[in-house]
Homo-oligomer: A and B are copies of this chain.
Amino acid sequence: MDDEGFLMLGRMVTAVELVEGCGEFAALVPEVRTNLVYARERAADRGDVLAVDGRITVVDGRPRAAGRPRFGASSHMARLIIELRRVDPSVRAGIDFAWTPRLSRWLGRYCREQGWVFSVIDRRGEPEEIKEAEGASMPWKVAEAVRAAGGRVPKVFYETGAVGKEPVTVLVGPDPVGVADQACTIARKFHGSG
C-alpha cells in the first residue's frame, strides 16, 4: 500500500473507534447497520474507497465494527460517495445512520443551527425506468439530493419511501474522523433531547 492508503487507514481506524466509544450512537444504528466510508483523493471505483467490512452493528448495547476497514468493502455507500464527489470533490467521507420522523425534525433544526445544508431524496419520485435499470438509481439519487439542496452537495440528507428499503440518514465531509465526530455529537445531543 502507498502512504495515502496507510494515512487513510489510520484515520479510518481512529474514526471507527470514535463511533464504538459513543454509546448513544447505538440508538442510531439502523437495522441495515451503519457504514463509514473514505475515498482516495482520486477515487474512480469502490476499490478506492475504504469502508468497514461487515459494517458497524450493536453488540452488548454499544456500537461495534464487525470487521476492519478495507478498500472495496462497501458497495452502496462507496458508489454514493463517488457520485457525490462528481459534484463536490472535497467530499471524501460519509456515514449513514437511522432515520425516524422525530430524528428528521430534530436534524432539520440542528443543521440550521450549524449552518449545514439538509436535504431529502424522496424515492417515491424516482422514475420506474430508473428503478429497474441496474445501477441507475445512484446518479438519480445524488442528482435529487443536490437539486433539493439548491445545487450543492448537502452536509446531511436522507432517503425515504422505497418498498423493501429501510430509510437512512447520511452525513458527509472531508475526512472520516470529522464525520464520525459530527455523527457522535448528533447522537449525544439527540439522546439528550429525548
Contact = CB atoms under 8 A, between A and B. Distances in A.
A155 to B, nearest CB: 23
Interface stretch (A5-13, A103-111, A146-154, A180-188): A5-13
Interface in A158-172: 160-167
Copies of this protein in the assembly total: 4
A14 B7 contact: no
A33 interface: yes
Of the candidates A17, A60, A66, A166, the one having the most CB atoms from chain B within 10 angstroms of its own CB is A66
A57 interface: yes
A126 interface: no
Of the candidates A10, A11, A59, the one having the most CB atoms from chain B within 10 angstroms of its own CB is A10
Contact of A14 (B1, B33, B60, B164): B1
A68 interface: yes
Nearest to A55: B57
Contact of A161 (B55, B60, B163): B163
17 contacts: A3-B7, A6-B10, A6-B11, A8-B10, A13-B13, A13-B69, A31-B32, A32-B32, A32-B166, A33-B57, A54-B60, A54-B66, A55-B57, A59-B67, A161-B163, A162-B163, A166-B166
Given A32-B166, A161-B164, A166-B166, 4 more contacts: A6-B7, A6-B10, A9-B10, A10-B10
